[in-house]
Amino acid sequence: MTKAIKPMIKALEAMLGPQDAGLFLAICCDLLQDCVKGKEQLNLRTIEIKINDYFSSKYDFEKEEIVEN
């Protein structure tokens, strides 16, 4: 997993630029913190990203694959 992080961050920077890539990651962290606020540690089963109410994609951590586009 760690080896995959650098290329993914570089891909994110290529898509959004370095400043907006960092902002995107910070916003994702804030949203995740808000979702789990006041709860015990959680195991991620799925995560869904929706952009501009148009594009959405869902990832299943147990299957380790994208399950919806």
Residues 14 and 26 in one domain: yes
Q: Give the pLDDT score at 37.
A: 85
> Which pair of tokens denotes residue 56?
């959405």
Residues 1 and 32 in one domain: yes
Residues 26 and 52 in one domain: no
Give per-residue pLDDT as tens, 48-60: 988 888 899 999 9
Residues 28 and 45 in one domain: no
Radius of gyration of the chain from Cα atoms?
Answer: 14
pTM for this prediction = 0.69
Domains of the chain: total? 2
Give per-residue pLDDT as tens, 14-47: 999 989 999 999 999 999 889 888 887 778 889 8
- The domain containing residue 21 runs over which residues? 1-38
Residues 28 and 50 in one domain: no
